[in-house]
Structure 1
Amino acid sequence: MTQSARRATTRAALLAATIDSLLAQGVAGTSTRGVAERAGVSQGALQHHFPNKAQLVEAALSASLVTSLEQLLAPPYDASSAPARAAELLDRLWHFHRLPLFGAVFEMLALAQQDPVTAERTAGTLDALLARIEDAAAAVLPDDPTRRTRIRLAVAAVRGAAAVETIPGAGGSDWDLIRRGLIDVLIGEAR
């Protein structure tokens, strides 16, 4: 195995171990030492790839979320009507934002409010995800000058509703009502 292949294998093991730790313990409970142990590598090897916990967590979340989003947004969509395609896009976005990993995402959003480096990295990840959502939506929704704004509005609403869903005792977000309104927004009937 070449050195490049070993590096790629180590990096992949570290990212997978980080995701496992985030799912089991959240951001606060994840440590670089624990991730190194899960991955079967030394602490030095981990630090060679990721100098600190924030970079490790951000890289793992970004890679995992991008992969999950691309899988969820991949065609085909129901081609029967614009409302059906919009509903399917929203359902996929709702499912994505309710993945178990989003607990860690919400923790990172809270950390980003206090740490400029985390904020910059988190913003980059969110921008990359939004760009992929916009690309997928462009193939599904009617083309007009307001489509990007409508997509961003829908994504913000889905993110907010998904965040409320994670709060015990908050009563839920009434996703069905939000979804019906967002279908109209996405197909351009609610301006």
Structure 2
Amino acid sequence: MSVQPRQKAPQERRNQAQRSAATREALLDATLECLVEDGYANTTTARVAERAGVSRGAHLHHFQTRSALVAAAIEHLALKRRDELIVALETLPTGPTRVAEGLDLLWSNYANPLFQGALDLWSAARTDPELRPHLVEVERQLDRQTLNLARNLFPDAADRPDFERLVEMSVATIRGLTLLDTLHPGDDRARKQWPDCRDRLVAMFEAR
């Protein structure tokens, strides 16, 4: 008896909304890749469209300007990182190492090439009146997102009156250290300095 080849299940066709969402995500992912590899100055709309594999018209349908595109890409990155951190939260211990490991989790959110690409945008926005308003709004969203996440990272300290200031100081410390990687890519300076900074922050979180 011969065996008949298995018929492939017909692929479900995506509707217009699904195709549009996929195109938008491809553009945002391509923008992040360009920012990391080429820097903001070389992240052109044409280069992003080519990398994403979409037409110029499809690109303009979603984003009329480069400023709107890169701001949306940073927001897209923040949402992805938020989701990753929420998943990672489930594995954090609840004992005495909770604060240190929570700070390490925040550190991992910044000590990576994607954040270096974002820094390029922040620098450019200082003298770019079109880009700046987009990033100001994204920055506000990031601050709110980080604070909400921190309440879950450090639940024992969340009711302290100075909790928000502690979180702000922690993020400022992490961002400041990661700036070292801007001029010294591949160097270990920031990574080597982080444990001591983290221990000092832990002491502040645990102080009563």
Give TM-score scaled by structure 2 length. 0.81
Corresponding residue SS for 2:29: helix
Aligned residues between the structures = 187
**Structure 1 residues 138 and 57: CA distance shift in structure 2, 3 A:** same
Aligned to 2:189: 172
The 3-state SS of whatever aligns with 1:41 is coil
Which of 80, 89, 94 aligns to 2:95? It is 80
Q: What whole-Å deviation, never above 9, does each CA across 1:7-40 have from its counterpart, x for those lacking one?
A: 1121111112212222221212211111111222
Give me the CA root mean square deviation. Answer: 2.0
Determine whether 1:107 maps to 2:111. no
List gaps (5 residues or longer) in structure 1: none
- Large movers: runs of 4+ above 6 Å: none
Report the CA distance between 1:73 and its aligned residue: 4.5
Matches within 5 A, 1:1-150: 1-74=14-87, 75-76=89-90, 77-81=92-96, 84-141=97-154, 142=157, 143-150=159-166
CA distance in 1 between counterparts of 2:132 and 2:177 reads 22
SS of the counterpart of 1:78?
A: coil
What is the CA deviation profile of residues 71-129 of structure 1, one whole-angstrom value per residue up to 9, with x for unaligned ones? 13442221012xx2211111111111112111211111101111233222222222222
Please tell me whether Structure 1 or Structure 2 has the larger radius of gyration of its CA atoms: 2
Seen in structure 2, the aligned counterparts of structure 1 residues 134 and 11 have a Cα distance that, compared at 3 Å, is: same
Gapped runs of 5+ residues in structure 2?
1-13
In 1, the alpha carbon distance for the partners of 2:83 and 2:132 equals 23
Q: Does 1:160 align with 2:176?
A: yes
Aligned to 2:206: 187
Distance 1:117 1:168, change over 3 A: same
Structure 1 length normalisation: TM-score?
Answer: 0.88
